[in-house]
Structure 1
Amino acid sequence: MIRKFLMYSLMQKFLPVLSWLPEYKKENLSKDFFAGITIGIMLIPQGMAYALLAGLPPIYGLYAGMVTLTVYTILGTSRQLSIGPVAMDSLILANGLAGLAVAGTNEYIALAVLLAMMVGLLQLSMGFFRLGFLVNFISNPVISGFSSAAAIIIAFSQLKHLLGITVEGEKVHEIIINIFRNIEQTHFLTFGLGIFSLVLLFGSRYLSNKIPSGLLTIIVSILLVYFFHLDESGVKILMEVPSGLPPFEIPDINKSDMLTLLPLALTLAFVSFMESIASAKTIQMKHKDYEVVPNQELIALGASNLATSFFKGMPVAGSFTRSALNNDSGAKTGLSSFISALVLLIVLLFFTSGLYYLPYTVLAAIIIYAVAKLVNIRLAAKLWKSSRKDFIVFMATGLATLFIDIEAGITTGVLISLGLLIHGASYPHIAELGRIPTTRIFRNIERFQNLERYDSILIVRFDAQLFFANAHTLLEFVEAKIRQRPSIKHVILEASAINGLDATAVDMLIDINNDLKSRGIELYMVNVKGMVRDVLESNGLIHERSTQYYFLNTHDAVSYILGSEFKDFTEYVLQTNIKSE
């Protein structure tokens, strides 16, 4: 019995569908069904549009959505996350393959499918080796700066379809220059239909969130083209769209191609996981009946990308927009994703012929509409006011993405973030404290007025872990204060924020102690955490100094020095000679 229970628990860990399917509640069926239909309908225009953005035939977006939603239903830990083609990954794919093959050609498609397989294998490996924590090194300013810049690039890349002209260039400034050079070639009927589609998309959002604006726009545009023969007037349409299911094919594996695609695959593996886990965790906060497991999400996402590569799919990720709508539509379990996959299956089997008259300009409008909300101007303004360092990260990431390339943007953001993190750790905040009059409370003298200070006592608070990279700053701070106030005879180190010491920090404390002692200055430590005291004791610092120099709080230390709190040292030791936790 116990063995069966352990086996089932292990199966639940690797097949999260078993955590909700055996105990599925009938009252959730209608909610999951409605949410699944809603997302399936939404994914029809988005899947085709993002495939177009990636330089692939639009039908490949539907292939990817159908396959990956099915796989994720079984392996994913989020019950509302909707995975499939997304704008950012499509842009990365298009930019990465631009110099290797011509978009839409068989060679290009083969590379895209191989890339999906490589992304899947990388994510599966990351999941098995429990590397989900790596996403923590990509901060929100990096994500937002990258997303905002990518959204701008995506929008500008679709202007050629919206205007009906040929535009060369991959970077925003190149696209703008070439648009002005070819602006006289604008096909006004195409442009008008694109603008009409944008008005319909944005207008539907303001009227009601329940209106499937993308599908509505597609249906209206197809009817307009069909009845008014707009294709005969120069409006470009999809024309023949393959029907039926994609055949099972193993991607053409070429060692040279794989080595060439490896940097791009690594970028996509990280970015798609970053998007997915951020979306999953944001939505999971509204649900307390399950937990999102990052490493299992890597496995689910990797398996989804691997599976789609066998069915002519493209790299996928979790979509925050679709996931949020899935949640708002009432989705309770992963069954909603499976129903969305069934919607795409039905479209592929019976309705692809109806997409014949779908204009490219409408797909471009759908893409522009989808990415418009990714440009986070409000966050930039907020960061400018609250954190200039984060603002620098946001802007540097965005500018590098815009004017260099996507990989450079992410790399720049991560490197600057790590650089600022290292700088912050190397130069932590150190404060001199003073007493608030008539209290036992001590605060930073630079933030509070009228604090009491003592001529012979320096009270220092070190607000960080003390280790080799920042140990010198404490020594320099104390030395500077002693030079300013030669009357100092006692130095109190308030250590409540110090949660660890390395060998360099211990040696530095010993050096400070010896140096101060040689000048007739005593060093005291207060609010020392238990783990820090253990390190000090094991290195002989506590044994070397009398226990009278370790206090539970700053007030006790000052009182002891001034001789106003205790009758003699023995009474004090009885009250304070314990380890502070």
Structure 2
Amino acid sequence: MASPAADRRTVLARLARLAPGLASFVHYRRDDLRHDIVAGVCVASVALPVGVAYAELAGFNPAIGLYSCLWPLVAYALFGTSRQLIVGPDAATCALIAAALTPFAAPGSDAYLALSATLTFVAGLICIAAGWVGLGACADFLSRPILTGFMNGIAISIALGQVGKLLGFKIASTGIIRPFIEIVEKIGQTHWPTLAVGSGAFALLIALPKLAPRVPTALATLAIAAGVVGLFSLDSYGVRTIGAVPPGLPWLTLPTLSFTKLDTLVVDAAGIALISFCSAMLTARSFAARNHYEIDDDREFAAIGAANIVSSLTQGFAISGADSRTAMNDMAGGRTQMASLVAAASIGLVLVFLTKPLQYVPTPALGAVLVMAAVSLVDLATLRTLWRESRSEFFICISATLGVVLFGSLRGILLAVVLALFRFIRLVARPSCEVLGTVEGMKGFHSIARHADARQTPGLCLFRFNAPIVFFNARHFRLSVLNAIDASVPTPTWFVLDAITVTSVDVTGRRVVEELREELGRRGVTFVLAGRRTQRLEWREKHGLRHAADNQLHYPTLRAAVQAFHAMRKPKKPSQSPT
């Protein structure tokens, strides 16, 4: 019979598999509480203005933005594996929501909110399903250049979308060229009080970090702008405000699935799920590495899904990992998921007791906050690095940016995914190949292309293929081998393939290798393998070929193959006849 302690360990192990965050609370240390409380309050001070601003971006009432900052934080704290990651509305998901729903309903309407709940719920289900089947590795396929390009495109789109709020007129066009033309045409309609409020907000956003670095800049800016509007009644002069925010916590609602639009929403939800997860993973991995712990990709996928489902059930919209709020959490000393619970509690207190002052927050000040947030998304440092280190990845990054700006966020995602697939196919279908030689003073064998003083042994061609030999690169392997032999002077009598770098060979690859061996034999060149000898013998035994004829020369290492070649070439001593 198991002891109570063993039963408790079993329960905790099961709990850790289902809800890693909840399991961490069981072992919570009191020493962390003070740090987590401070960090949670700091996170809430950043999340409040950002939630209001991003709700405006996505086409919702400001309260919806605050709802999206509340219960999803609790859900992620229970199911996530990152100690620092803060979830909530972010620029990319808000832009995707607006692009997906605007064709079907007017922003802010009940129909718009219902479609958003469905979209968020489906995105959450997709994330959970992807986590269960082990698709967490999908984050690795969207490289940093592609995600950087996508985020740069989102930043440009957001900034252009806020110009109308800052100038006091509506911009109906989308893209980059047509909105710019529309702005030029309507510049005479500028509402000067609105422009003054927006300009003042910009001045505060720039000056406050220098004058009072410990003060939450966005929160202080919106508070000052709301005070000015209320004090001087600027709303009566035509300056738009966000209006009344209903007090109280969000109630539980079930999304009403619109089956007529479900097929379209599923595609949009898949795009939101992909970008939400990849964006969150980049942030979570960065802070996990900084704080020396590991995260579980698949559980993170499921945790983001759970947070989205909770958001849809509590009148929120789609969320993701939030860079700025996660950075604030880490900077303020947050150590565990408890900081997320403290932040959620702080936001809940604001919703219950402090919603009245929010009605005076001016729309141009929100626009200024969003423009500054968009500017912070632009990553010029990565662009400069890509230009120096890899021109091809630089152009992939620029292509992703142009895809978002010219074709919209959702099509930009598709373009980014296609670029990622093309890049992956290019890397594995056309891997690097190397002819090897020896370099004086260096052990082993090295690429003759990278070492000008590398020497080849006459009559011997050592070849390295840096990939598995499979159906989509087998022809490239064959042509590369033939080109290497044709370029060797004199023509080699032995061709040695380094099998260590060939991680696997499929049926097509084995057929091509056998045909190549026969072709080289007709040329008088012996095909030799070096490395993975035991693995090849096990494969032959497994497939019933143990006792079949095997005339393939196979040595355990490249050095052993080279030694055998020299031994073969060494002239034999003539035998002496007895006297």
- TM normalised by structure 2 equals 0.92
Task: Tell me the residue number matched to 2:274.
Answer: 270
Alpha-carbon distance between aligned partners in 1 of 2:23 and 2:570, rounded to the nearest angstrom = 62
SS in 2 for 1:466: coil
**Residues 166-177 of structure 1: pairs in structure 2 closer than 5 A:** 166-177=170-181
**Do the aligned partners of residues 520 and 33 (structure 1) sit closer, same or farther apart at CA in structure 2, a change above 3 Å counting?**
same
Alpha-carbon distance between aligned partners in 2 of 1:128 and 1:538, rounded to the nearest angstrom = 33
Task: Tell me the residue number matched to 2:555.
Answer: 550
Task: Tell me the residue number matched to 1:5.
Answer: 9
Match of 2:365 among 358, 362, 365: 362
Task: Tell me the residue number matched to 1:51.
Answer: 55
Alpha-carbon distance between aligned partners in 2 of 1:208 and 1:532, rounded to the nearest angstrom = 68
Task: Tell me the residue number matched to 1:335.
Answer: 338
Give the superposition deviation at 1:146.
0.6
**Do the aligned partners of residues 46 and 507 (structure 1) sit closer, same or farther apart at CA in structure 2, a change above 3 Å counting?**
same
SS in 2 for 1:157: helix
Give the superposition deviation at 1:3.
4.2
**Do the aligned partners of residues 386 and 531 (structure 1) sit closer, same or farther apart at CA in structure 2, a change above 3 Å counting?**
farther
Give the superposition deviation at 1:182.
0.5
Describe the superposition over 1:378-407 as per-residue Cα deviations: whole angstroms up to 9, x where unpaired. 212221221233223212211111101212
Task: Tell me the residue number matched to 1:432.
Answer: 435
**Residues 97-246 of structure 1: pairs in structure 2 closer than 5 A:** 97-207=101-211, 209-246=213-250
**Residues 393-432 of structure 1: pairs in structure 2 closer than 5 A:** 393-432=396-435
Alpha-carbon distance between aligned partners in 2 of 1:439 and 1:63, rounded to the nearest angstrom = 63
Match of 1:453 among 426, 437, 456: 456
**Do the aligned partners of residues 448 and 533 (structure 1) sit closer, same or farther apart at CA in structure 2, a change above 3 Å counting?**
farther
Give the superposition deviation at 1:481.
4.1
**Do the aligned partners of residues 298 and 426 (structure 1) sit closer, same or farther apart at CA in structure 2, a change above 3 Å counting?**
closer
Moved more, 482-491 or 86-95: 482-491
Tell me the amino acid that sits aligned with residue 275 of structure 1.
S
Alpha-carbon distance between aligned partners in 1 of 2:300 and 2:369, rounded to the nearest angstrom = 28
**Residues 413-562 of structure 1: pairs in structure 2 closer than 5 A:** 413-437=416-440, 441-484=444-487, 485=489, 487-528=491-532, 530-532=534-536, 534-535=538-539, 544-545=549-550, 549-554=554-559, 556-562=560-566
Describe the superposition over 1:14-37 as per-residue Cα deviations: whole angstroms up to 9, x where unpaired. 122333222222221111111111
Task: Tell me the residue number matched to 1:571.
Answer: none
Tell me the amino acid that sits aligned with residue 123 of structure 2.
V
Moved more, 434-443 or 259-268: 434-443
Contact 1:499 1:529 in 2 (8 A): no
Alpha-carbon distance between aligned partners in 2 of 1:451 and 1:29, rounded to the nearest angstrom = 61
Tell me the amino acid that sits aligned with residue 449 of structure 2.
E
Match of 1:315 among 308, 318, 325: 318
Alpha-carbon distance between aligned partners in 1 of 2:571 and 2:485, rounded to the nearest angstrom = 30
Tell me the amino acid that sits aligned with residue 362 of structure 2.
P
Give the superposition deviation at 1:111.
1.6
Moved more, 459-468 or 522-531: 522-531
**Do the aligned partners of residues 528 and 70 (structure 1) sit closer, same or farther apart at CA in structure 2, a change above 3 Å counting?**
closer
Contact 1:142 1:410 in 2 (8 A): no
Give the superposition deviation at 1:319.
0.3
**Do the aligned partners of residues 535 and 64 (structure 1) sit closer, same or farther apart at CA in structure 2, a change above 3 Å counting?**
same
Alpha-carbon distance between aligned partners in 1 of 2:410 and 2:335, rounded to the nearest angstrom = 36
SS in 1 for 2:471: coil
Give the superposition deviation at 1:176.
1.0
Moved more, 114-123 or 334-343: 114-123
Task: Tell me the residue number matched to 1:89.
Answer: 93
Alpha-carbon distance between aligned partners in 1 of 2:206 and 2:112, rounded to the nearest angstrom = 33
SS in 2 for 1:28: helix
SS in 1 for 2:435: strand
Describe the superposition over 1:519-570 as per-residue Cα deviations: whole angstroms up to 9, x where unpaired. 332222223464355446767699755576425224x4333323399899xx
Task: Tell me the residue number matched to 2:24.
Answer: 20
Contact 1:202 1:369 in 2 (8 A): no
Alpha-carbon distance between aligned partners in 2 of 1:136 and 1:72, rounded to the nearest angstrom = 22
Tell me the amino acid that sits aligned with residue 267 of structure 1.
G
Alpha-carbon distance between aligned partners in 2 of 1:478 and 1:310, rounded to the nearest angstrom = 60
Tell me the amino acid that sits aligned with residue 67 of structure 1.
W
Alpha-carbon distance between aligned partners in 2 of 1:548 and 1:132, rounded to the nearest angstrom = 42
Alpha-carbon distance between aligned partners in 2 of 1:548 and 1:245, rounded to the nearest angstrom = 75
Contact 1:168 1:174 in 2 (8 A): no
Contact 1:434 1:442 in 2 (8 A): yes
**Do the aligned partners of residues 439 and 82 (structure 1) sit closer, same or farther apart at CA in structure 2, a change above 3 Å counting?**
closer
SS in 2 for 1:451: coil
Give the superposition deviation at 1:440.
5.5
Match of 2:297 among 294, 304, 326: 294
Task: Tell me the residue number matched to 1:576.
Answer: none
Contact 1:45 1:218 in 2 (8 A): yes
Task: Tell me the residue number matched to 1:383.
Answer: 386
1:32 to 2:47 alignment: no
Tell me the amino acid that sits aligned with residue 367 of structure 1.
L
**Do the aligned partners of residues 326 and 550 (structure 1) sit closer, same or farther apart at CA in structure 2, a change above 3 Å counting?**
same
Tell me the amino acid that sits aligned with residue 392 of structure 2.
K
Alpha-carbon distance between aligned partners in 2 of 1:270 and 1:69, rounded to the nearest angstrom = 19
1:60 to 2:64 alignment: yes
Give the superposition deviation at 1:169.
1.4
Tell me the amino acid that sits aligned with residue 516 of structure 2.
I
Task: Tell me the residue number matched to 1:305.
Answer: 308
Match of 1:326 among 329, 334, 340: 329
Alpha-carbon distance between aligned partners in 2 of 1:144 and 1:57, rounded to the nearest angstrom = 30
Give the superposition deviation at 1:431.
1.9
**Do the aligned partners of residues 314 and 331 (structure 1) sit closer, same or farther apart at CA in structure 2, a change above 3 Å counting?**
same
Structure 1 stretches of 5 or more lacking a match?
569-581
Describe the superposition over 1:127-159 as per-residue Cα deviations: whole angstroms up to 9, x where unpaired. 333332223222222211111100110111111
- TM normalised by structure 1 equals 0.91
1:344 to 2:351 alignment: no
Contact 2:533 2:554 in 1 (8 A): no
Moved more, 196-205 or 339-348: 196-205
Give the superposition deviation at 1:439.
6.0
Give the superposition deviation at 1:72.
1.9
Structure 2 stretches of 5 or more lacking a match?
573-579
Tell me the amino acid that sits aligned with residue 461 of structure 1.
R
Give the superposition deviation at 1:51.
0.3
**Do the aligned partners of residues 247 and 537 (structure 1) sit closer, same or farther apart at CA in structure 2, a change above 3 Å counting?**
closer
Give the superposition deviation at 1:304.
2.0
Contact 2:145 2:393 in 1 (8 A): yes
Describe the superposition over 1:38-79 as per-residue Cα deviations: whole angstroms up to 9, x where unpaired. 111111100000000001111110111112112222222222
Contact 1:123 1:298 in 2 (8 A): yes
Give the superposition deviation at 1:362.
0.7
Contact 2:435 2:463 in 1 (8 A): yes
What RMSD over aligned residues (CA atoms) do the two structures have, in Å? 2.5
Contact 2:131 2:302 in 1 (8 A): yes
Moved more, 83-92 or 250-259: 250-259
1:353 to 2:356 alignment: yes
**Residues 559-578 of structure 1: pairs in structure 2 closer than 5 A:** 559-563=563-567
Task: Tell me the residue number matched to 1:80.
Answer: 84
Contact 2:22 2:77 in 1 (8 A): no
